[in-house]
Amino acid sequence: MQFKEIIGQERVKQQLVQTVKENRISHAQLFLSPAGSGAVPLAIAYAQYINCLDKGENDSCGECSSCRKYERLIHPDLHFSYPFFASANIKTAVDVLEEWRGMLMQDPYFDMDIWRSKLDAANKQANINIAECHDIIKKLSYKAFEAETKVLIMWLPEYLDKAGNALLKLIEEPPANTLFILIAQSQDQILTTILSRTQIVKIPKLSSEEVTGYLLNAGGLTEHQAIDYSFLADGNLIEAKALAADTQSDSSGTFTAWLRMGFGNKVPDLIEFTDEAAKWGRENQKNFLKYGVNYLRECCLILSGAEELVKLPPLTFETAKKLSTHVLTLPMAEAIIGELEKAHYHIERNANPKILFLDVSLQLVKIIKFKTLPAGTQYIYN
């Protein structure tokens, strides 16, 4: 991966190159970026530039033995760590390394949903466990095989939990010529003990012009479509690609159908939906609830008269507009958001999904059909 292959982020590229030229590479860096901004390819290109045997002024050569191995992600001194779904056969990240390499080679712009689709998630939750932390310590204790600098790229250290404390000494006092690059999306969810030991590199979301340019170069879209999709994606290249490919999740249809069942007080249909939702698996259930929260927040913008701020795909936007006009009120939308957020919290803590989704379904009936709002969501209008 070379810097020239990465979309946008020119300021960050120059900043990273400059640290190499001035020999002031911090041994532990935290790339803090929103989803779809290119933090992973930036980290790989940075590591490749550091270990390139014939560095150019602003990029690696792409031809030396080190660069060729980096291009195929098989350099013996390049290590990856990432969330995975532990099982009897999968104990550390290395056990799914082929799937990880395959995904990166196919497209270095991805998120947790795309990574989950490459694995057998079943009903498990992803994390970076203590066994993975011990494996990192073991790998980095070895001398470098070929390169001058060993590099560990950890994607989403938010999934470390308390197991990350095992890495504190290694991050603070690593072996000579060892570089840690942590790639995170939420600074607040990272262990403070790890955060305090890293140098933060903030990577901004892509500009609308950069996303539009990419979509036009990829082909298949008119300029008007590219501009619209760029606006909807809000700097997230992953979302922009999904819009362009028309591969939107069916969560919109499922969620709006669920709301209609509640509005129609169709209890048999709600029970059938509950039985189906209970089979989805925990991660898919969490994603569905998260989608519902985001969808209703967009509905709140419509109800507040701020349609120009809504970032829903065109067809989904029309459905949301009809729902907001004929069914929902602002207090009702906020009350449902509260119920979905509570359900997400309980799903994370292994609540029984059948009982939980049935309870939320009945709450939808109370809120949408009978307009009975939970305490604390009533408003006095002037």
Q: What is the CATH number of domain 248-370?
A: 1.20.272
Distance CA 300, CA 288 (A): 18
pLDDT digits (tens, 9 = 90+) for 199-257: 999 999 998 889 889 888 887 777 777 877 777 677 889 888 877 775 444 677 889 99
The arithmetic mean of pLDDT across residues 40-51, rounded, is 94
Tell the CATH topology of 3-204. Rossmann fold (3.40.50)
Q: Is pTM beyond 0.85 here?
A: no
Confidence class for position 381, pLDDT limits 50, 70, 90: very low
Q: What confidence score (pLDDT) does residue 250 get? A: 63
Q: What confidence score (pLDDT) does residue 376 get? A: 63
pLDDT digits (tens, 9 = 90+) for 129-163: 999 999 999 999 888 888 889 999 999 999 887 88
- CA distances from residue 225 to 52, 61, 234, 243 in whole angstroms, order as listed: 40, 36, 14, 10
Dihedral angle, C-alpha 331, 336, 342, 343, nearest 10 °? 180
Confidence class for position 261, pLDDT limits 50, 70, 90: very high
Residue 325 has pLDDT above 50, yes or no: yes
Q: What confidence score (pLDDT) does residue 248 get? A: 43
Question: What is residue 338's three-state secondary structure?
Answer: helix
Q: What confidence score (pLDDT) does residue 232 get? A: 67
A 10 A CB-CB count for 123 gives: 14
Q: What confidence score (pLDDT) does residue 378 get? A: 55
Q: Copy the structure tokens of residue 5.
A: 């292959």
Domains 3-204 and 248-370 share a fold: no
Residue 382 has pLDDT above 50, yes or no: no
Contact 95, 134 (CB under 8 A): no
Distance CA 318, CA 324 (A): 10
The arithmetic mean of pLDDT across residues 261-274, rounded, is 95
Confidence class for position 65, pLDDT limits 50, 70, 90: very high
pLDDT digits (tens, 9 = 90+) for 74-133: 999 999 999 998 888 889 999 999 999 999 999 999 988 888 888 887 778 888 999 999
Domain boundaries, the chain: 3-204, 248-370
Q: Which of 346, 238, 366 is nearest to 285 (CA)?
A: 346
**Residue 170, CB half-sphere, CA atoms under 13 Å: how many?**
18
Residue 379 has pLDDT above 70, yes or no: no
pLDDT digits (tens, 9 = 90+) for 331-376: 999 999 999 999 999 998 999 999 999 999 999 999 999 998 877 6
